Amino acid sequence: MERVELPSGTDSMTMRPLRPAWLLLWPALLLTTPALAAPLKTEVIKRATRRGLAVAPLPPGPNVKWSHAPYEAGDCAICHERNDRANPGPISTSVNENCYSCHEEFKGIMARRFKHVPAVEACTNCHNPHNATERKLLSGEMVEMCVACHKGIKDQIANAKVRHDAVSTGEKCSNCHNPHAANIEKLLIQLPFDLCVKCHSRDGMIAGDGKPMTNFKAWLADNKVWHEPVKAKDCSACHRTHGGSNFRLLVAPYPPAFYAPYETKAYALCFGCHNDKVVSVPETTTLTGFRDGSRNLHYVHVHKERGRTCRACHEVHASKQAHHIREGVPYGPKGWMLKINYTRTPTGGSCAKTCHETKSYNNKTLTSSAPK
């Protein structure tokens, strides 16, 4: 159990035990969201090394846009016994040794800790050594080639309601993975957090729903109070990477809008770590410091047909204030910034001229100062 500093008057032990907490959703919530209970399958279909037709020269055509320089020059003896296009004979040594004799840098690459099995077996598992319709002399379109072995990832991408552009644009799979070898698990070219921030570090990025996306490099630099999963540099605690079923590739449901009717399962993402009673019980003296006497103000805000969702008051990645309280929240389709104007006080706090007139709360007494 880890003790966390919560608002004044809060019993911090009401937080869930951490395993670390943000990595797993609780079984009860999994039951309410059956799709989450099934593990993601990423098994590899093992195939024999491809030979023969897969590495033969392609006949000339408008789609054959890339050629290997020795083949283009007719220097077959660089790899084969003879300089005879019609009958070059067998290659002079193993496939990879042939490749390394020119591409020396790959000896160092293949000495890295984690190696891609097809690259260890033979470069021709993925590359045509003569000519190709794809860049890098790939034998086929990159994603199609990768998912031909990585069946679990193929299913994730095919079934995804929300797609990650990193899978299908730019360098595609190679945006995140080195297809030969790497010193980071999963053949990642950088640590996961650094990979995510590297791409999500530009102004003007637009999500698939047409809404602007955050420049996280700038945001995290300007907001020093980081949410625990962000502090742990674990984006995958909350987000899928290849595709998912929820808004913003989230691993579990979380309301995407400012208003939403309250349902426990709608907040499965939050309640994977946080105690759902923080918002589901109307009266408490221990669960939260956001209370007026014993009146639970989380309940007041959230537990209604037109409830204010977590995002109405809290940042989810990083903030300038404790407890991730926002300075302002994008409101309406134009994203106008509604100021929260929260001020912490010795006896609780207040919000000034936001969704309502200025209101204060006192968590040092057990009697509410406001009418119910």
Question: What HEC string does the chain produce?
Answer: CCCCCCCCCCCHHHCCCCCCHHHCCCHHHHHHCHHHHCCCCCCECCCCCCCHHHHCCCCCCCCCCEECHHHHHCCHHHCECCCCCCCCCCECCCHHHHHHCCCCHHHHHCCCCEECHHHHHCHHHCECCCEECCHHHECCCHHHHHHHHEHHHHHHHHHCCEECHHHHCCCHHHHCECCCEECCHHHECCCHHHHHHHHCCCCCCECCCCCECCCHHHHHHHCCEECHHHHCCCHHHCECCCEECCHHHECCCCCCCCEECCCHHHHHHHHCCCCCHHHHCCECCCCCCCEECCEEHHHHHHCCCCEECHHHCECCCEECCHHHECCEEEECCCCEEEECCEEEECCEEEECCCCCCCEEEECCCCCCCCCC
Q: pLDDT tens-digit profile of 296-344?
A: 999 999 988 899 999 999 999 999 999 999 999 888 877 788 899 999 9
**Mean pLDDT (the chain, rounded):** 86
Q: How far is CA 61 from CA 84, 284, 294, in A?
A: 22, 74, 77
pTM of the model: 0.82
pLDDT, one tens digit per residue, over 271-285 is 999 999 999 999 999
- What pLDDT score does 35 carry? 42
pLDDT higher for 4 or 66?
A: 66
Percent of the chain with pLDDT over 70: 84
Give the rounded percent of residues in the chain with a pLDDT score beyond 90. 76
Q: What's the confidence (pLDDT) of residue 7?
A: 37
225 pLDDT exceeds 70? yes
Q: Is the pLDDT of residue 264 over 80?
A: yes
Q: Is the pLDDT of residue 40 over 90?
A: no
> In the structure, what pLDDT confidence band is assigned to residue 37 with cuts at 50, 70 and 90?
very low
Q: What pLDDT is stored for residue 268 in this prediction?
A: 97
Does the pLDDT value for residue 29 go beyond 50? no
In this prediction, residue 45 has a pLDDT band, given cuts at 50, 70 and 90, of: low
Domain ranges of the chain: 12-33+252-362, 52-148, 150-249
pLDDT at 82 over 80: yes
Taking each helix axis from N to C terminus, what angle separates 151-159 and 142-149, rounded to the nearest 10 degrees? 120
pLDDT value for 291: 96
